Structure 1
């Protein structure tokens, strides 16, 4: 007698039908009937009343059902405890670029934690190059970033293309353009970018974006991080280009205006080792798409 035989028997008792039990178990009815007959032969007793509609267990069958339920529950508990003890020692370390904390990353990680309750999850802020090195050296298991860096050991999964915005003081003339602005309208302004180091970086991407449109900002300042850039913009020091998710950062008198150019987007990547096909990575990717679905964000689901 195997546990699967007990599961078959319990399903028939609870469904009161061989046909319904077979559907529930995703097996054909004839093999299920044979398994129950073999179980009765092994037990040396009839477990079901023949000809009853709906199907009912005999007195012996009902006693056997009660014991089978207890045994299956114990087996499931033993499996759960064993898995928990094995997984609790597993830690998944996830790197991320700082600006992603203003977007959906916290919700993604929170959902991932709920779906992997026995997995210890550690978050580490890293710049783009640090993420790649840490992945290759095994210090992190996955990372979220915006910068395209090619490396044969690394796989980038494009999650979405996030629109860009201009953060500007409410007193600035461009603040009135609620519908959006073009890059050519801000090229003569004092433009604030981040981070200063290292390269490649988000600031390098933004410089490249201007170049794609044949533009070159004449008054450009690159600062250490997004917080400083937004703070300076709120002080009226200049305009700051940021991903759309950064508008959750609210300074008084700071307005966020969409950039209307088609290529004014910032990619968001899940970055992993090229040979990594673990279930944890799959689960993390599923968490991303579940959050995107809840937020009605368009994306092309990547096959992992």
Structure 2
């Protein structure tokens, strides 16, 4: 019969070493002495060495036996730690990982996450900045549990919920000729402006969305420059280098000589989507939906909750 070393054999061996007696070890382990002796003999046979000095009273280990004992104690200790941590993670610490596009931090996402933390104190909540496109792949691979983005990216494995449409604004330098019209401006009025778009990668992204909006109006702006992120774009606008289209929530970014004016076209909107796996109907996701609409109610934002009820939002 082939012998396979298991953790229990290490426990038997450690007990014999520490009790310095097969009889006392058998009593400690609540097993009979003959089976214990056989297990130790099998262990020695598997290793091909003697672990105990025969005939010694009290029982003593050989040099190899002492070496094996020290490592057996470490292995058993590690096994207990793994067992304990696995139970703790499984019973206590559940994690919800959220992917988000950076611009949403200037809107209501921080308030939503904070409320979710307060209402679900048993959860560990992690936030990871990533593009909408990367969120879709991360959801499918199980690296995140929910994504917040601005693009209509379709995937049969992902259910996308439109949370609301955010108005777009134009950031300009206070000395810019458009700054005097507090009522706002139109896409057609800024076709020839030096226009900063962000982010510069990866595509598709918010800059892709802005380009599409111009195309929908039959406009073809020539003076476009893509920059890495929204803060850099607005810094350049504040320096008088050009203008930039941003979501309304970005107006919380205040820089000297920088002002924001409304874009009056009816299409000047940026959708905010929440994406989840199609089969995910967990209680945590339902609770997150509730937090989103509680914050919207508190802030007075309009939304259509019917699109998310029972997870029936279109993924097309």
Cα offset, 1:225, TM superposition: 0.9
**Quick one: structure 1 residues 87 and 236, their matched pair in 2 at CA, closer, same or farther if it must change by over 3 Å?**
farther
Cα offset, 1:243, TM superposition: 0.3
Cα offset, 1:88, TM superposition: 3.0
The 5 Å alignment of 1:202-281 reads 202-281=206-285
| Deviations 1:277-297, CA, capped at 9 Å, x for gaps | 111111111111011101110
Give 1:42's aligned residue: none
Q: CA RMSD in A?
A: 1.2
Partner SS, residue 254 of structure 2: coil
Partner SS, residue 133 of structure 1: helix
Cα offset, 1:179, TM superposition: 1.1
Give 2:298's aligned residue: 294
Give 1:152's aligned residue: 156
Give 1:58's aligned residue: none
**Quick one: structure 1 residues 141 and 253, their matched pair in 2 at CA, closer, same or farther if it must change by over 3 Å?**
same
Cα offset, 1:127, TM superposition: 1.1
Partner SS, residue 291 of structure 2: helix
| Deviations 1:206-260, CA, capped at 9 Å, x for gaps | 0000000000111011111111111111111110100000001000110001100
Give 2:110's aligned residue: 106
C-alpha distance in 1 between matches for 2:290 and 2:230: 28
Structure 1: runs of 5 or more not aligned: 1-83
Return the match for 2:181 from 164, 177, 187: 177
Return the match for 1:201 from 189, 205, 213: 205
| Deviations 1:71-130, CA, capped at 9 Å, x for gaps | xxxxxxxxxxxxx98653111100100000011000000000011010010000001221
Cα offset, 1:201, TM superposition: 0.7
Aligned residue pair count: 221
Structure 1 segments (4+ residues) deviating >2 Å? 84-88
C-alpha distance in 2 between matches for 1:274 and 1:192: 36
C-alpha distance in 2 between matches for 1:85 and 1:117: 15
Partner SS, residue 280 of structure 2: coil
Q: Point out the structure with max Rg over C-alpha.
A: 2
**Quick one: structure 1 residues 275 and 187, their matched pair in 2 at CA, closer, same or farther if it must change by over 3 Å?**
same
Give 2:192's aligned residue: 188
C-alpha distance in 2 between matches for 1:261 and 1:185: 11
CA contact (8 A) 1:95 1:142 kept: yes
C-alpha distance in 2 between matches for 1:100 and 1:217: 26
CA contact (8 A) 1:87 1:118 kept: no
Give 1:118's aligned residue: 122
Give 1:141's aligned residue: 145
CA contact (8 A) 2:132 2:147 kept: no
CA contact (8 A) 2:132 2:148 kept: no
The answer on 1:163 being equivalent to 2:162 is no
Partner SS, residue 255 of structure 2: coil
Structure 2: runs of 5 or more not aligned: 1-87, 312-316
Q: TM-score, normalised by structure 2?
A: 0.68
C-alpha distance in 2 between matches for 1:87 and 1:200: 40
Q: TM-score, normalised by structure 1?
A: 0.71
